[in-house]
Amino acid sequence: MTEHEDILGKIVSLAKRRGFIFQGSEIYGGLAGVYDYGPLGVELRHNIKQHFWDTFIAMRDDVYGMSAAILMPARVWEASGHTELFTDPLVECKICHERVRADQPEAIHDHESRHAKDKKQVSWSDPSVFNLLVGTKLGSSEKTATPVYLRGEITQGVHVNFKNVLDSMHPKLPFGIGQIGKAFRNEITPRDFLFRQREFEQMELQYYIRPDEEEGKRQFEYWKQFSLDWFLGLGFSKENIRLRAHEPDERAHYAKDAWDIEYKTPFAGWKEAWGIHHRGDWDLRRHSEFSGVDLSYTDNETGEKIIPWDIECSGGVDRAVLFVLLESYTEDELGGEKRVYLKLKPKLAPIKAAVFPLLKNKPGLVAKAESVYHDLKKQIPQVAFDDNGNIGKRYRRQDEIGTPFCVTIDFETLENDTATIRERDSGKQERIAVSELAGFIQKKIM
Ligand code: GAP
Chain segment 68-101, per-residue pLDDT in tens: 999 999 999 999 999 999 999 999 999 999 999 9
The residue to mutate among 182, 319, 324, having the most atoms of ligand 1 within 8 angstroms of its beta carbon, is 319
Q: 159: CA distance to ligand 1 center in Å?
A: 17
Instruction: Supply the pLDDT for residue 301.
Output: 84
Cβ atoms of 8 and 193 within 8 Å: the answer is yes
Structural element, H or E, at residue 180: strand 175-184
- Does 1 score more than 70 pLDDT? no
Ligand 1: which of 80, 314, 317, 322 to mutate, most ligand atoms within 8 Å of CB?
A: 314
Per-residue pLDDT tens for 207-246?
999 999 999 999 999 999 999 999 999 999 999 999 999 9
Q: Is the link from the previous residue into 363 a cis peptide, with omega within 30 of 0?
A: no
End-to-end Cα separation, the chain, in angstroms: 39
pTM: 0.95
Cα 335 to the center of its chain, rounded Å: 35
Q: Three-class SS of residue 297?
A: strand
Task: Give nearest CA residue, ligand 1 atom 16.
Answer: 316
Q: Which of 53, 33, 6, 23 is nearest to 317 (CA)?
A: 53
pLDDT at residue 405, rounded to an integer: 98
Closest CA relative to residue 153, chosen from 26, 282, 46, 45: 282
Is residue 320's pLDDT more than 80? yes
- Best residue among 34, 198, 200 to mutate for probing ligand 1, ranked by most atoms within 8 Å of CB: 200
Cα gap 368→416, rounded to integer Å: 12
Mean pLDDT for all residues in the chain: 96
Report CA(314)–ligand 1 centroid distance (Å). 7
Residues with CB under 6 A from ligand 1: 153, 155, 185, 187, 196-197, 200, 202, 204, 272-275, 312, 314-316, 318-319
Over pLDDT 70: what percentage of the chain? Answer: 99
CA distance 97 to 142: 31
